[in-house]
Amino acid sequence: MDYWGPIQLKPPHRRAAPTKAYVAVFVCFATKAVHLELVGDLSTAKFIEALRRFVSRRGLCSEIYSDNGRNFIGAANELRQLVKTKGHNQQIAQECADNGIQWHFNPPKASHFGGLWEATISSAQKHFVRVLGTHTLAYDSMETLLTQIECCLNSRPIVPMSDDANDYEVLTPGHFLVGTALKAVPDNNVIDIPFNRLRQWQQTQKLYQQLWKRWHLEYSSTLQTRTKWYNPPVHLQENQLVIIKDENAPPMSWKTGRIIQLHPGDDGTTRVVTLLTPTGRYTRPVSKICLLPISSPLERNESLTCAKST
């Protein structure tokens, strides 16, 4: 886990100065699921409150990795002292001892040790800062926006559900959190409406839609890998599940399709494919489709066979 910020919050009344807040980012090592918590400051007490909210919603974790920040060290010491307190309820103390959290701190001045959560922060923070700009939101509006951003990050496709030609579903981090794919509440498109003409809740949705449009296109581009000449090329195969890039897709919408036909050129390179989707057949260039981050076992075996043959 790590922090990003500070971010500016709208004051309770006009004459007050904007207040600062931070975002606590929790990333699961196993499923890459993301959890965001709005924190009022960098004190130990606020971090423990964020940690308790995280544990209450996601469950108790066995290990936590973090930077060597003073607030994290203070939280670990305070939790340890709480368990050792004689006046603490014996049952709760026993439960904490049985399910104690083992805390791992990175070495000082070694932020590169946390590459997993640093990449997660980078993927969302830079778009969040650009979209938010000089706008300030109230605490509850900012919390709503961060929760929707968390939902977007946890909706990204990871691997096909199956190799069935009629199955277009993909596994996402949201499946590990709620048991199914995460859904968004349908909303009107307010991206092109000026900010000052929108109500407070519509302003939050405008920022959310702008961030989705930026982030999902960038994430799709990272899945279109380009290999050097000394690496085996990416082999497209029939019946392979791919993501279809759509610049106008609404939030939380990932269009998928199965490749049913390859159209290689005179040089043998495939630049056009025919896709089968739940809504029909489409012909798309290879630049408009993306492979999933993790392929199915059948696709990996076939790719390995093609690489050995070449």
What's the token pair of residue 62?
A: 């066995």
User: Helices in the chain by DSSP H: which ranges?
Assistant: 44-58, 70-84, 90-98, 115-132, 139-153, 173-178, 200-222, 297-309
Residues 184 and 302 in one domain: yes
Residues 183 and 304 in one domain: yes
Neighbours of 137 (CB within 10 A): 20
Identify whether 238 is part of a domain. yes
Q: Which domain holds residue 241?
A: 154-310
Report how far residue 231's alpha carbon sits from residue 55's, in angstroms, rounded to the nearest whole number: 43
CA angle at residue 145 from 143 to 148, to 5 degrees?
110
Residues 176 and 287 in one domain: yes
Q: What is the pLDDT of residues 54-89, one digit of tens each?
A: 988 888 888 888 877 777 777 777 766 765 666 554
Identify whether 136 is part of a domain. no
Residues 159 and 68 in one domain: no
Q: What is the pLDDT of residues 187-235, one digit of tens each?
A: 888 888 888 888 888 888 999 999 998 888 888 888 876 665 556 567 7
Identify whether 135 is part of a domain. no
Given a cut of 60, whether residue 21 has pLDDT beyond it is: yes
Identify whether 291 is part of a domain. yes
The radius of gyration of the chain's CA atoms, rounded to the nearest angstrom, is 23
Task: Give, as one character, the DSSP assignment of residue 137.
Answer: B
Distance of CA 165 to the CA centre of its chain: 28
Report how far residue 276's alpha carbon sits from residue 207's, in angstroms, rounded to the nearest whole number: 33
Buried b (16+ CB within 10 A) or exposed e, 204-225: bbbbbbbbbbebbeebbeebee
Q: What's the structural domain count of the chain?
A: 2
Tell me which residue of 191, 193, 188, 229 sits closest to 210, measured CA to CA.
191
Domain final residue, candidates 120, 143, 173: 120
Residues 294 and 228 in one domain: yes
